[in-house]
Structure 1
Amino acid sequence: MKRFILFAALLAGGFAASAQEAIWGGGEVVSPEILPDNRVTIRVLAPEARKVEVTGDFLPAQRVETPFGQADAAGVAALVPVGNGLWKYTTPAPLAPELYSYTILVDGFRTTDPSNVYAIRDVASVSNVFLIEGGRADLYRVDDVPHGTVSHVWYPSSVLGEDRRMTVYTPAGYENSGRKYPVLYLLHGMGGDEEAWVSLGRAAQILDNLIAAGEAVPMIVVMPNGNVARQAAPGASPLGLERPTPQLPHTMDGVMETHFPDVVKFVDTHYRTVRRKEARAIAGLSMGGFHALHISKQYPDLFDYVGLFSAAVEPDASVSSPVYADSDGKLALQFSKAPKLYWIGIGSEDFLYKANEEYRCKLDGMGYPYTYYETGGGHTWRNWRIYLSEFVRLIFK
């Protein structure tokens, strides 16, 4: 009996030691370290490496060629060896307040920072993140304010003949208030999914903080999956742990727009919503901006607020769909019904800037009112978080 007790004690001790290894094994290298003056130090332990680099959006951008023309890519900086296999890089100047992302390159092999547990997936890539607080970036923090609830919800689509997944944000107090709320339908870009706005866009934090400050009306935010060839985000559908890709069929061919009333119908029958045009908004980034543009004019009695964030505008010339037919006539009908807000935001270096400029010229020529918001930079989440925080301040008021 004593031998059994001793064996059990040793076994338990072994598990404890193993657990302690898991707890303490990763705590030796501090990275990233945000210094008091908002410079940032990245450290990597790589004793066998010949070269270690960091690439991220806090570094000076590089111009690269893409299928859509020139665009900004994340900059690259070299870490220097400081002894005992440790490599280090410190930004030469303080960083402006922002949520930044980065990855590590070890002898050309891209990986995440092993000392930073905070990582986000964007399509098929995973990056670490860190937050420099202050100014607008404080909207991206989890502050000590009342918090809304984020749920992943499945809904039936009669048009597509399948169940599909969406993410829904309900504001603080929704569960017990008994009141009805306006709804913002918030759409992701190409390669994204129903998780993008809450993970990359910090939508829940932005809404929580603006609502708590009285700068935004309490609202429900519905974030559907805009990829009609996929029921849900990678890993959350019957397809299993497939590799994410932006190259999906039926992304901008009218199918998403055709099935969208299924989304609105489900939300209006399963949530306490104000079921009127003046209590509905639709907005989206890039491909989602394209969908918001065409959904809002296809169903001109559904939405009184429209937000186009770095939006694609025209369908590909090879696409034929009734959704895109008589575009000028549908736009005329939409504006004859006097939407309360038609909001366009884009970065001055965005590869879609010219297309948006031409679209604004078209609206100007037809005398259709809109609000325009221009930032610096390009086709990035840094801009889309700004556009969301500006747009939600203006709607439902």
Structure 2
Amino acid sequence: MKKTSLSILLALISWVAFAQQSLWGGQNIVSPEIHPDNRVTFRFFAPKAVKVQVTGDFLPPQKVESQYGKMDVPGVADLKEGEKGVWEYTTPEPLSSELYNYTFIVDGLKNVIDPNNVYVSRDVASLFNIFIIKGGCGDLYSVNKVPHGSVTQRWYNSPLLGYDRRITIYTPAGYETSGKRYPVLYLLHGMGGDEEAWITLGRTVQIMDNLIAEGKAKPMIVVMPNGNVDQEAAPGESSLGLVKPNMQLPRTMEGTMEATFPDIIKFVESNYRVEKKKSSRAIAGLSMGGYHSLHISKEYPNMFDYVGLFSAAIIPNDKVDSPIYKNMEEKLAKQFAKAPKLYWIAIGKTDFLYKANQDYRAMLDQHKYPYIYRESEGGHIWRNWRIYLSEFAPMLFQK
């Protein structure tokens, strides 16, 4: 009887230990560890591994060939195996203030998530860990002790598409009780993204809360639609179920998004306290979203007084045949004749779309259309787009 009781007790202790191990992740490892001097140590437990590496945007980029030409990709660094199978890598120099992402490569297996860092973001079909270095722009991307806005994910009906779609909307602190009407920024994502991209990857909520609290940006509503018209919503959030995200979606950059955009305007202006005038509307986007912003704003020249093109694609594919993209120079002439208050173009020096933007600017210069140009380091990356948003938003609705 005593043996049976002892067996039960041992089994119970074993079960409790297993439950606690599951609850706490099973590893008493700190990774990443941000040191007081802003050097960072990454650790990974892999006692049977032969080689462990870390890759992320905190490392110097590498050049690779792609269908778009040479592109920057994150660098790679080797971890060194230490005691008890824990591999380590410490950055040789302190990191500047920023939001960074990383994953591990274990014996050639890429995109391995750090099991000791629960902070994970999704970019299309890729997952990666994130961390923030404070003391600069990283503070802007952090949740600080300031008044906070609200984020809702609403469904709107698009009569032109014939189905309901989900949209993400940020309202500034005090919106619910102020009774005021607000200007609106329509903020568009890139290819493969969705209505969650600017919230998770772009840190829109943190950026807007902090800018508004500091008095650097006017309180505004930010509307983040899904630019893929064949999607009801982000992957896993629609009637399609838990499908794998995919960049190659039908009806991409072929005119339908631009043609149906008034459905979004109508929904917002029917359901939110907004100022329904050109001088209180802005549109901006990155990559494909910059492309949509360019063509939507020229297609509806009375709609937006503020336009932001972040690393924008410019010209449609040769196979695309849509009236939206025809007579481009004629439509731009009508748009600029109405004197938009701000036309803002920004791109990184090593972005694969740099030449396309250079050519577009030459055309604007030829016609003496006014715009502001911002050139940054780096390529086609979220680090740039977060910076662009933090610089663009304070310029809105000031005149």
The one-letter code of the counterpart of 1:66 is S
Pair 1:43–1:265, CA change in 2 (3 A): same
Query: 2: distance between equivalents of 1:354 and 1:150?
Result: 36
Aligned to 1:80: 80
Aligned residues of 1:188 and 1:284 also touching (Cα < 8 A): yes
- What letter matches 1:176 in structure 2? T
Letter in 2 for 1:97: S
- 1:71–1:378 CA contact under 8 A, matched in 2: yes
Structure 1 spans left out of the alignment, 5+ residues: 1-8
Q: Which consecutive aligned stretches of 4+ in structure 1 deviate over 4 angstroms post-superposition?
A: 9-19
One-letter amino acid of the counterpart of residue 181, structure 2: K
Q: Residues 80-105 of structure 1, C-alpha deviation per residue, up to 9 Å, x if partnerless?
A: 01121110000011111110000011
Q: In the TM superposition, what is the alpha-carbon distance from 1:23 to its structure 2 partner? A: 3.0
Q: 1:171 is matched with which residue?
A: 172
Deviation digits for residues 360-394 of structure 1 (CA, Å, limit 9, x no counterpart): 11101001000111101000000000000000010
Match in the other structure for 2:5: none
Residue equivalent to 1:96: 96
Which whole-Å CA distance do the structure 1 matches of 2:230 and 2:319 have between them?
19
The answer to whether the 8 A contact 1:26-1:115 is kept is: no
The separation in 1 between residues aligned to 2:334 and 2:138, in whole angstroms, is 39
Structure 1 pair 271/14, CA: closer, same or farther in 2 (3 Å)?
farther
- The CA deviation at 1:24 is 3.1
The CA distance in 2 between the partners of 1:349 and 1:21, in whole Å, is 45
| Alignment-derived partner of residue 44 in structure 2 | 44
- Write the mapping of 1:296-307 to structure 2, written as runs, cut at 5 A: 296-307=297-308
Matched, 1:344 2:339: no
- Alpha-carbon RMSD: 1.6
| Letter in structure 2 aligned against 1:246 | M
- Match for 2:28: what amino acid? E
Could you say if the C-alpha distance between residues 273 and 90 of structure 1 is closer, same or farther in structure 2, counting changes exceeding 3 Å? same
What letter corresponds to residue 229 of structure 1 in structure 2?
D
Q: CA deviation at 1:313?
A: 0.4
Q: Classify the secondary structure of the residue corresponding to 2:389.
A: helix
Corresponding residue number in structure 1 for 2:105: 105
Distance 1:25 1:258 in 2: 49
Q: Secondary structure at the match of 1:96?
A: coil
Q: Give the Cα–Cα distance (whole angstroms) in 2 for the partners of residues 216 and 22 of structure 1.
A: 44
**Cα offset, 1:245, TM superposition:** 1.0
**What aligned pairs does 1:1-397 form with structure 2 within 5 A after superposition?**
19-110=19-110, 111-397=112-398
Shift of 1:137: 2.0
CA distance in 1, matches of 2:19, 2:151: 32
Distance in 2, Cα, partners of 1:155 & 1:15? 49
Taking a change above 3 Å as real, the CA distance of residues 371 and 240 of structure 1, as seen in their structure-2 partners, is same
1:24-67 Cα deviation digits (max 9, x unpaired): 34450110000111110000000010110101111111100011
CA shift at 1:11, angstroms?
11
TM-score normalised per structure 2: 0.95
For residue 22 of structure 1, report the CA deviation from its aligned partner. 3.0
Q: Which moved more, 1:19-28 or 1:325-334?
A: 19-28
Distance 1:96 1:164, change over 3 A: same
Letter of the 1:37 counterpart? D
- Whether the 8 Å CA contact 1:234–1:244 is kept in 2: the answer is yes
Q: 1:15 to 1:161 in 2, by over 3 A?
A: farther
Q: Is the 8 A contact 2:25 2:116 kept in 1?
A: no
Residue 21 of structure 1: how far off its partner (Å): 2.9
Structure 2: tracts of 5 or more residues without a match: 1-8
Corresponding residue for 2:4?
none
**Aligned-partner Cα distance in 2 for 1:19–1:271:** 47
The one-letter amino acid of 1:290's match is Y
How many residues were matched structurally? 389
- Per-residue Cα deviation, 1:254-283 (whole angstroms, up to 9, x for no partner): 000000000000000000000000000000
Aligned to 1:4: none
SS at match of 1:84: helix
Superposed displacement of residue 10, structure 1? 11
Residue identity matched to 2:47: P
| CA distance in 1 between partners of 2:138 and 2:175 (Å) | 26
| Whole-angstrom distance in 1 between the partners of 2:10 and 2:330 | 79
Provide Cα deviations, 1:91-138, integer angstroms capped at 9, x if missing partner.
Answer: 011111110000011101121001110000000000000001122221
**Structure-1-length-normalised TM-score:** 0.96
**Given residue 258 of structure 2, which amino acid in structure 1 is its aligned partner?**
E
2:68 maps to amino acid: F
